[in-house]
Amino acid sequence: MKARLRLVYVLAVLSSAHALHAADASSLKPPPGAKVAIIVFEDLQCGDSARAYPLLAQAASAHHIPIVLYAFPLPMHNWAFDAAVWARFFDLKSERLGSQFRDYIYANQNRITFANLPQFVQGFGDENKVPIPSAYDPDGKLAEKVQSDFALGQQIGLLHTPTVFVVGQNGVSAPLVEAVSRDELNQLIDDMLKKTEAEVPRKRAARKNTR
């Protein structure tokens, strides 16, 4: 099942390579209960994604906003898809464990290959006392989620990782692509928070004028 979905993913990449357009992330929204969020399309085999990951976590923590992660495993990276499926597996255990797994993979990125990825997964599981089943995605549901993430990135028009958006309830920032600057990211978050805060009095005034 997972192998078939991986093949579907590769064919989708090839068939739509010429149809990609400029990024249009207007469909992205913060998760329920959040006014502003950081949305990241990541590739666990991508060096730029590895460098950006701690900056994104720090910015989210400093501004008290959530991060929403989407898998966008690039076709030239031969173990990125499987690593994304494993990340989903650990996300099911807990959000904290999923985050720690990504940290672990990024930290060991230069040592991981397609052949030895299962050994690194087993090592992470052993360190965190999480049994690693031989059939960790028997019905292909986790692989389907990764494929769905990738399809969303294609729909938006993404080509590179990481691609980072700061989204509010009524707007989406310009993307940060590949190189993520701490200062630029913080500025985008500050601007979106201010925009969101300004929307509240305008909506209240509009409701008052309609009474």
Query: For 119-147, how does the pLDDT look when each residue is reduced to its tens digit (9 = 90+)?
Result: 999 999 999 999 999 888 999 999 999 99
Domains in the chain, please, with CATH?
A: 2-209 (3.40.30.10)
Q: How far apart are CA 96 and CA 118, in angstroms?
A: 21
Which whole number is the average pLDDT over 37-64?
A: 97
Cα distances (angstroms) measured from residue 85 to each of 49, 99, 163: 17, 13, 19
Which whole number is the average pLDDT over 140-167?
A: 96
Whether 93 and 62 have beta carbons less than 8 Å apart is answered as no
Query: For 67-77, how does the pLDDT look when each residue is reduced to its tens digit (9 = 90+)?
Result: 999 999 999 99
pLDDT band for position 8 (cuts 50, 70, 90): very low
Closest CA to 23 of 210, 173, 146: 173
Helix axes 2-15, 80-93, angle to 10 degrees: 120
Q: How far apart are CA 121 and CA 38, in angstroms?
A: 27
Query: For 174-207, how does the pLDDT look when each residue is reduced to its tens digit (9 = 90+)?
Result: 999 999 999 999 999 999 999 988 865 554 444 4
Closest CA to 91 of 59, 130, 138: 130
Cβ-proximal residues to 63 (8 Å cutoff; 6+ apart), any chain: 36, 186, 189, 190, 193
